Each structure stands twice: as C-alpha cells, then as structure tokens.
Amino acid sequence: MIRDGDRVAVGLSGGKDSVTLLEALIRLQKKAPIDFSVCAFTVEQGKFLAPIHPFRGYLEQRGIDWTYVQDGPSLRLLEEQPDHGCDLCSRFRRRAVYQIARNLGANVIAFGHTADDFCESFLRNAMFTGRLSALPPVAYSRKRDFRLIRPLLYVTEDLTRAFAERLGAPVIPCGCSQKTGTVRRTLRDIFSELERDHPHLKETLLSAMSKIETGRLLDTRFLDLDGATEEAGFFPDTELVQLGA
C-alpha cells in the first residue's frame, strides 16, 4: 500500500477511525524500512456536530501538518438541498479531497474505512444494488494521479474506539453518524445481534471477500458453460446437504 518516497495524506473525518489510522501511520513511519511522509487534512462539509478546532492542538502535539478546508460547494449544497443523498455529498467531497491532496503534494490518500465498513459495504451492495462488491483496499483515482488506500480493512471498530480513547484524541462526530432508520444503522444492528452468538462474523465475511468462487455464482462471464474446466464434482457433499438430498 505504501511505497518508498510516498507522501501520504490522511483524510481526518473527525472520528475514531481516521485518528487511529493517522496514529498507526505515524508509528509505522518510524519503524518502516522505507521513507514516506504523512500529513493530514479535513474537509468541512457542514456536518460536524461540534467545532473541529480541538484537532489543531492535538495534531501539533503529534507533529503533524494539518490542513482544514471549508468546502464552499458542499456548504452551499447543504443550504440549497438539505436532504441531499450520499451520492452528491461524496462526489463533492471527492473533488475537494483531490484538490487538497494535490495542494499538499501528496501522491497517496489514506482513508480510515474499517473492517466494519468493508462488511457493511459488501452486504449493502449485495442486498440493495445487486452487485457483489465492497471497498477496494488499494485503488487509483480516475486520472491515476493518486493511489487511494484503506489500511484499516482488517481492523474492527471496537479496536479503533478503544485505541482513540487511549490516545486521548478529540472525536468530533458527523451528524450523519447519529441518524436512525438508515440502511447503515440497520446493518450495524444486525451485525451486533449476530455477533453475540458468532463473534468471528466480520472475520468470516472478510475471508469470503478474498475467496470468491466465481464458478458458483450467477455471472455467466465466469461460468464453465462449455465444460472446459475440471470440476471437482457437481454435487459435493455440502451441496447435497443444502439441497436436502
């Protein structure tokens, strides 16, 4: 994800996850066998529930350059279309993020998405958009001028919560995180309930995302329609059980 000579700009969203990510990268930077630099930025889209300025002192103390930008188009969007959806909001944010990263001379942008986000995204896409996909851990911006990384993909939010608390870092919630009745909230509640009996649920889901059996799904691009590949047996034992045979 991170290479020699990279300049990594960490997107600080005000929450526990991005604070954890920043601290992890600061510590990694000291130990890694390669040289890379780290800076941080925050885009103000008018959704923080409290002033964000406590970050300044905290980041100065951690020796990190922090850029805070009030994004005019996002703030106007909030006034003109207060009920706008995530698609518009994230499109505005993406444009602002690329501009800030460019100004900071960064070639890598790091986001604080966690294992919880990967699992939610996977289920949300499967259930509500009809696609099997989640978040890419490493990707490139459309013009390939930035590498986009999500280093916390195996880190769950119970860990980031505890870690951020131990750091004594300020946590400024986003108004959206408090909303009820959203798909995100519903999925989170389902996870919490299932995890009482299945504590490794997220681990299993992450594992599933890295072991795709394309020949057992419905995408005809990957099906062996002409019998060209060897199949271990069309009805292995597990399948017979599921089929009630």
Question: Contact positions toward ligand SF4, by CB under 6 A?
Answer: 47, 86, 89-90, 174, 176
In whole angstroms, how close is the CB of 117 to ligand SF4 at the nearest point?
A: 11
**C-alpha distances in Å from residue 82, one per residue of 74, 77, 85, 229:** 10, 7, 9, 54
Q: How many residues does the chain have?
A: 245
In whole angstroms, how close is the CB of 238 to ligand SF4 at the nearest point?
A: 39
176 versus 217: smaller Cβ distance to ligand SF4: 176
In whole angstroms, how close is the CB of 34 to ligand SF4 at the nearest point?
A: 33
* 177-185 LR contacts (CB < 8 Å, sep 24+): 177/15, 178/49, 183/124, 183/128, 184/120, 184/124
In whole angstroms, how close is the CB of 47 to ligand SF4 at the nearest point?
A: 5
In whole angstroms, how close is the CB of 89 to ligand SF4 at the nearest point?
A: 3
Helix or strand holding residue 118 (H, E): helix 115-124
87 versus 230: smaller Cβ distance to ligand SF4: 87
47 versus 62: smaller Cβ distance to ligand SF4: 47
Tokens of 29: 């930077």
Residue 109, judged by CB atoms within 10 A of its CB (0-12, 13-18, 19+), counts as: buried
176 versus 194: smaller Cβ distance to ligand SF4: 176
2 versus 118: smaller Cβ distance to ligand SF4: 118
Write the single-letter amino acid at 232: A
User: Where do we find the tokens 């995180």?
Assistant: 177
1 versus 174: smaller Cβ distance to ligand SF4: 174
Distance CA 106, CA 112 (A): 17
In whole angstroms, how close is the CB of 167 to ligand SF4 at the nearest point?
A: 23
